[in-house]
Amino acid sequence: MDMDSDPRRSDVVVIRDSDHYHARGDSVIRVENTLFKIHKFLLTHNSTVFDSMFDLPVGMDQPEGSSEEFPIVLEGDKAEDFRAVLKYLYAPPVQTQIQDITTAALPEIISVVTFAHKYAIDHWKEWGVKVLARLLDDINLVPAEHLCALYLHYRLVEDAPMGSRVIKRWCEIIEKENLPIIPILDAATARQDQDALAQAYCIQIRRWEEGANMFDPGLLQEDDLGQAHVRRILSGCASLSFSWSRMRSREPYPFQDAQCKGGWSMEKHEKVCIPYSRAQWMAAMADAERQYPFIAQMTARLSAFGQHLRQNTPEYSSSSPREADCLGSLIQQLNEHIPNDVHFLANHFFPKSPQVDTQ
342 Cβ contact list (under 8 Å, min separation 6): 164, 168, 195, 198, 199, 299
- Whether 29 and 36 have beta carbons less than 8 Å apart is answered as yes
Report pLDDT for 6. 52
The letter for the amino acid at 213 is N
Backbone angles phi, psi at 339, to 5 degrees: -70, 140
Q: What is the identity of the amino acid at 294?
A: F
Give me the pLDDT at residue 246, please: 87
Query: Is there a contact between 345 and 195 (Cβ–Cβ < 8 Å)?
Result: yes
**CA nearest neighbour of 70 among 57, 86, 52:** 57
Q: Could you tell me if 272 and 264 are in contact, meaning their C-beta atoms sit under 8 angstroms apart?
A: yes
Task: Tell me the Cα Rg of the chain.
Answer: 29
DSSP-derived secondary structure letter, 141: G
Neighbours of 74 (CB within 10 A): 21
What pLDDT, on the 0 to 100 scale, is given for residue 342?
55
Sign of CA dihedral 218, 222, 225, 226: positive
Rounded to the nearest 10 degrees, how much is the dihedral formed by the CA atoms of 259, 263, 265, 269? -70
Judge whether 225 and 257 are in contact, CB under 8 Å: no
* Alpha-carbon gap, residue 151 to 173, rounded angstroms: 14
Q: What is the rounded CA–CA span in Å between residue 214 and residue 13?
A: 51
With a CB cutoff of 8 Å and minimum separation 6, the contacts of 220 are 214, 230, 234
β-pair type (34-38, 27-31)? antiparallel
Any idea what the Cα angle at residue 112 is, between residues 146 and 169, rounded to 5°? 25
Q: What is the pLDDT of residue 48?
A: 85
CB 187 within 8 A of CB 148: yes
User: H or E segment at 15?
Assistant: strand 15-21
∠ at Cα 237 (234, 240), nearest 5°? Answer: 150
Q: What is the pTM of this model?
A: 0.77
pLDDT tens-place values along the chain, 359 residues long: 343 445 555 567 899 999 999 999 999 999 999 999 999 899 888 888 888 877 666 555 667 778 888 888 999 999 999 999 999 999 999 999 999 999 889 999 999 999 999 999 989 999 999 999 999 888 998 989 999 999 999 998 888 889 989 999 999 999 999 999 999 999 999 999 999 999 999 999 998 887 655 555 555 555 678 889 999 999 999 999 998 998 888 655 656 666 776 677 778 777 877 788 888 888 999 999 999 999 999 988 988 988 888 887 665 434 455 666 777 777 777 777 665 555 788 999 998 755 444 34
